[in-house]
Amino acid sequence: MLKIAVLPGDGVGPEVTEQALLVLEAVKTKFHLEYTLALGLIGGKAIDKTGEPLPAETRRLVLTSDAVFLGAVGGPKWDGMPIDLRPEKGLLELRKILGLYANLRPVRCWPQLLEQSPFKNEVASGVDLLIVRELSGGAYYGAKGKRTEGGEAHAFDTIEYSEQQIRRIARMAFGLAQNRRRKVTSVDKANVMETSRLWRKIVEEESRHYPDVSLNHLYVDNCAMQLCLKPAQFDVVVTENMFGDILSDQASVLGASLGMLPSASLGEGAALYEPAHGSAPDIAGQDKANPLAAILSVAMMLRFSFNHTEAAAAVETAVEAALSAGLRTADIYSAGTTIAGSREMGKAVARHLSS
């Protein structure tokens, strides 16, 4: 029986988490799954109650769990706090203690949402890509600081990668590609950066162990352009931490809204599943948030933690059925469709699962 740690977090996090768990319960009934749920604090809510963004009790909880589901963290209430006490610090610490090193963000342009994409139909149509972002290295974790010289302020953030960090993310990308369309695009800036030159060398070496998967390289600026010009060319995109952070948010626009983008972070311990959107404090508590990214994150949990591909596919089919029925939250609404709140959308997906 799997133990799932549930961390609703801040803003709309509790609302979308509620709908994700509603859908998970419907899956449990349909496929006779066995799991337990345990609630924990993270982010701003944790700061308010304990003074820490990732309290000791939550650390113990996630380290004794098989999977972690997170809503969202952050909000303007905590923006003025020192960087080590910001809600986002809790998320970084969570990734660190779980040994998470691979963030997976699938981007799919659902046929029902083609009109909501800011891209022309012929550009967005057929987009189904997976961004594999290295999560444990790079500028976010490197040495950083600031100093003053001659009255002028200076700041620095260090990008550093080891051979082992690159090898394991490359292996994951190639392995995932074997179950997709067997194509990996590695993104770097090897014409300028020493870390990128090491990155390209190691990815090339690892590719020899996957002769059934094709490999090509793109500089990050070219990749950003290609995501706008011809996004359907991509299958699996693997890249370092900061590039992956930026490119995955850019790619999310292809699917009409961040509210449609799930994610999974995998590594040495329990996997972490969360919608890619933020806490959206401006609509928190108003039943307006799109829960589909959270629900699709449940599908990823079913695929990677439960190893139940049939259940995962059933959730994705139920999401598609709700969209085909014309239901839309405000972020993906268009003329001729029916606007729905977060709860109504969650219930619709659960209902299609149960039918």
Which tens digit of pLDDT belongs to each residue from 210-253? 999 999 999 999 999 999 999 999 999 999 999 999 999 899 88
Of 211, 235, 255, the one marking the end of a domain is 255
Give 188's Cβ-side CA count (13 Å radius). Answer: 23
CATH number at residue 138: 3.40.718.10
Do both 263 and 158 map to the same domain? no
Do both 123 and 226 map to the same domain? yes
245 is catalytic: yes
Question: Do residues 217 and 200 make contact, with C-beta atoms less than 8 angstroms apart?
Answer: yes
Of 255, 283, 306, the one marking the end of a domain is 255
In a domain, residue 283? The reply is yes
Question: Do residues 39 and 46 make contact, with C-beta atoms less than 8 angstroms apart?
Answer: no
249 is catalytic: yes
Do both 141 and 243 map to the same domain? yes
Q: Which residues contact 251 (CB under 8 A, 6 or more apart)?
A: 105, 107, 129, 131, 227, 231
The pTM assigned to this predicted structure is 0.92
151 sits in which H/E element: none
Both tokens of residue 309? 């591909």
Do both 129 and 14 map to the same domain? no
Q: Per the residue annotation, which of 45, 89, 189, 288 is the catalytic one?
A: 189
Write down the pLDDT at residue 161: 97
Do both 132 and 232 map to the same domain? yes
CB atoms closer than 10 angstroms to residue 335: 5
Q: Per the residue annotation, which of 48, 49, 144, 221 is the catalytic one?
A: 221
189 is catalytic: yes
Q: Per the residue annotation, which of 35, 140, 141, 333 is the catalytic one?
A: 140
Question: Each residue's pLDDT tens digit in the chain (355 positions)?
Answer: 899 999 999 999 999 999 999 999 999 999 999 999 999 999 999 999 999 999 999 999 999 999 999 999 999 999 888 888 899 999 989 998 999 999 999 999 999 998 888 888 888 899 999 999 999 999 988 999 998 988 899 999 999 999 999 999 999 999 999 999 999 999 999 999 999 999 999 999 999 999 999 999 999 999 999 999 999 999 999 999 999 999 998 998 887 888 999 999 999 889 999 999 999 999 999 999 999 999 999 999 999 999 999 999 999 999 999 999 999 999 999 889 999 999 999 999 999 998 8
Write down the pLDDT at residue 149: 87
Do both 130 and 246 map to the same domain? yes
Do both 248 and 129 map to the same domain? yes
Structural domains counted in the chain: 2
Of 205, 234, 255, the one marking the end of a domain is 255
Do both 188 and 84 map to the same domain? no
d(CA 234, CA 126): 10
Q: Which residues contact 331 (CB under 8 A, 6 or more apart)?
A: 256, 257, 258, 259, 290
331 is catalytic: no
Do both 132 and 229 map to the same domain? yes
Q: Per the residue annotation, which of 245, 273, 288, 347 is the catalytic one?
A: 245
Write down the pLDDT at residue 35: 97
**What sections of the chain are H helices per DSSP?**
13-31, 43-50, 56-63, 87-97, 121-124, 163-178, 194-207, 220-229, 241-252, 292-304, 309-324, 342-354
In a domain, residue 306? The reply is yes
Both tokens of residue 328? 């839309």
Q: Per the residue annotation, which of 66, 157, 249, 287 is the catalytic one?
A: 249
Q: What are the Cα distances from residue 97, in Å, to 52, 141, 269, 299?
A: 15, 13, 9, 24
d(CA 141, CA 135): 9
State which residues form the domain around 301. Answer: 1-103+258-355
> Angle at Cα 350 formed by Cα 348 and Cα 355, nearest 5°?
95
Write down the pLDDT at residue 269: 86
Do both 234 and 162 map to the same domain? yes
d(CA 191, CA 201): 13
